[in-house]
Amino acid sequence: MTPSGQDTPDDHDAHARDLLSRMTLEEKVGQLFVLHVYGHHASDPDRADIELNERELGVRTAAEAVAKYRPGGLIYFGWAHNTRDPRQLATLSNDVQRVAHDTSPGVPLLLSVDQEHGVVARIGAPATLLPGAMALGAGGAADDVREAARIAGAELRALGIRQNYAPSADVNVNPANPVIGVRSFGAGPDAVATSVTAQIEGYRDAGVAPAVKHFPGHGDTETDSHSALPHIHHSREQWEELDAPPFRAALATGVDVVMTAHIVVPALDPALDPATLSYPVVTGILREQLGHRGVVVTDSLSMQGVRTKYGDDRVAVLAIKAGVDQLLHPPQPELAYNAVLQAVRDGELTEARIDESVLRILRLKHKLGLFEQAYTTLETVDATVGSAAHLAAADRIAERTTTLLRNEDGLLPLSPGTHGRLLVLGADPVSPSGTTGPPTTVLATALTELGFTATALSTGTEPSPEAVDKALAEAASGHDAVIVTTYDVTDGDRQHALVTALTAAPGGPPVITVSVRTPHDVPRLPGVRAALAAYSWTDVELRAAARVLAGRVRPVGRLPVPVPRPDDPGQVLYPIGYGLSYEPYATPGPQA
């Protein structure tokens, strides 16, 4: 103990080693697993969730899962019905922690979530929704990136969650990347490194452990590792120049957790094993060459990318042999758990190797203060989650991310006096957290609150010919401008047909697009008079786009990725750093 009576890192290490020495092999192996469970309640979930738990985990409830497997942690998902509302989630966290405390060896759980914000958000409103990585990259302000992570971390901690699987350190150099895209801060290694460092600092300030991902870099692929096994064809020199810098920067901060990717990089491992299962990648490069001494967690073991070459039992064993510590979200927990136990009993894995990982996990739990206080309170939830200060900060940050890419003849900003009647139509992708409204409705509502008369008309990501006809008729019925939300437009798709029809209508109102995912939509729609990139379709980014459209704030976002010509990918149309601007109106906007 220090003179002030506070435990030191040496005290924590001594306690972790003592605890490890008293744990059974079964208890140690349990600490390696981060499991999913179904239901909003630890012991009384809905009947459908009981059935899912029985089918996938061999137990009825979250409480039974903790008692049976004694896992190191749990991961929360919306689709697993864990996240109904903040008070419920905090209560679930406290209840499973009590079960862990009362079950030998009494080690607190490391509760986690994949809450990147932007297009990946498992917990929605009334929690604060924040801009995602590419939007923050467009904002270009490290202070905003840090503040967003601090807010996100504070709210997660209030919910009992101490580990977040963010930030993404992937450098998105491939516009066709289907799995990373706007989840990356951008295409410049140094800029991504700066943002990654800032997010790590923000989460650390909030007392939450970030997990920098997806090592060794998932930015240059056209394959989604959720459904297949991507190959990254960078040479070792290209990897050092493009992919490694953000991870090196993260490790320089002493980041506690690194998440592996289910990708093959032949230049790093000629055996063509997924990086998650690769000793040369995890131990050889990450630990020995780059010097990571903390925890290594797999990406979800339910993803097809890691399951294409080996069975689910072998995947768990091979990941530990590669140097991984935490096995995240295995699709068959009992099978994986028993496979690791059997590998130790058969001598394929040594108990000493298991001890290495468990000791790292226990140290991390000590560092996060879980042995001192694993619980939260409803008072903390009420004071922290979705607080007025957090919501206001999210709005301010989002305003600095919206990027103006086209503004012919100075159409923007709009004013109620000249463009008072607006039609907002287009794609309405489902909210990533499932708690916010359709983007067209959110945008129309925000514009109406700013003094316009805005009508929402959802036409979807694949508008039918009938939907296009309806949109044309509505646009011609006295509207002064049409705003279209676009989502991953491709040449000749139905969204392209909709916008082309609107811009070609004789005497029709001017058309403005707001891309709610990738900015690469913009050059595919040449007839559009003005175009914004919002990078996501969550409320906070759509409200910010509305304020930019209405001239309440000055657009200052700058592209963090290059946008090439669709017909000639080698020719960049909008380079990194591109973005138009204009001076905002006085508030309220000018009247006729």
Q: What are the residues whose beta carbons fall under 8 Å from the beta carbon of 98, sequence distance 6 or more?
A: none
Helix (H), strand (E), coil (C) string for 79-103: CCCCCCCHHHHHHHHHHHHHHHHHC
Local structure of 533: helix, strand or coil: strand
CATH (residue range 15-384): 3.20.20.300
Q: For the segment 544-576, what is each residue's pLDDT rounded down to a tens digit? A: 999 999 999 999 999 999 999 988 888 999 999
Q: Is 337 exposed, middle or buried (0-12, 13-18, 19+ CB in 10 A)?
A: buried
> 3-class secondary structure for 187-208?
CCHHHHHHHHHHHHHHHHHHCC
* DSSP letter string, 379-424: HHHHHHTT-HHHHHHHHHHHHTT-EEEEEGGG-PSP-TTTS-EEEE
Task: Let me know if 226 is a catalytic residue.
Answer: yes
452's tokens = 């316009």
Mean pLDDT taken over the chain: 93
**Same topology between domain 15-384 and domain 402-574:** no
Phi, psi of 158 (to 5 degrees): -65, -25
pLDDT at residue 11 in the model = 77
Q: Which two tokens stand for residue 558?
A: 């700058």
Residue in 48, 70, 73 with CA at minimum distance from that of residue 60: 48
User: Is 112 in a helix, a strand, or coil?
Assistant: strand
- pLDDT tens for 418-434 read 999 999 999 988 877 66
**Does pLDDT of 344 surpass 60?**
yes
For 402-574, CATH number out of 3.90.230.10, 3.40.50.1700, 1.20.1370.20, 3.30.565.10 equals 3.40.50.1700
pLDDT over 60 at 244, yes or no: yes
Phi, then psi, of 269 in degrees rounded to 5: -150, 100
Q: Tokens for 213, please give them.
A: 């991902």
Asked whether the beta carbons of 485 and 438 are under 8 A apart, the reply is no
Q: Which of 101, 226, 480, 488 is catalytic?
A: 226
CA atoms lying within 13 Å on the CB side of residue 438: 18
Task: Give 592's pLDDT tier (boundaries 50, 70, 90).
Answer: very low
Catalytic: which of 273, 299, 313, 539?
299
H/E run at residue 550: none
Q: Is 3 a residue whose pLDDT tops 90?
A: no
Judged against a pLDDT cut of 90, whether residue 308 lies above it is answered with: no
520 in catalytic set: no
The whole-angstrom separation of Cα 470 and Cα 67 is 57
Name beta bridge partners: 213.
168
On the question of pLDDT at 177 being above 80, the answer is no
- ω into residue 523 within 30 of 0, thus cis? no
Stated pTM of the model: 0.94
pLDDT at 500 over 80: yes
> What's the mean pLDDT in 193-200?
98
Q: Name the residue ranges covered by the structural domains of the chain.
A: 15-384, 402-574
* pLDDT digit string, tens, across residues 401-415: 999 999 999 999 999
Percentage above 90 pLDDT, the chain: 86
What are residue 257's phi and psi, to 5 degrees? -135, 135
Model confidence pLDDT, tens digit, residues 60-109: 999 999 999 999 999 999 999 999 999 999 999 999 999 999 999 999 99
- Start-to-end CA distance of the chain, whole Å, equals 72
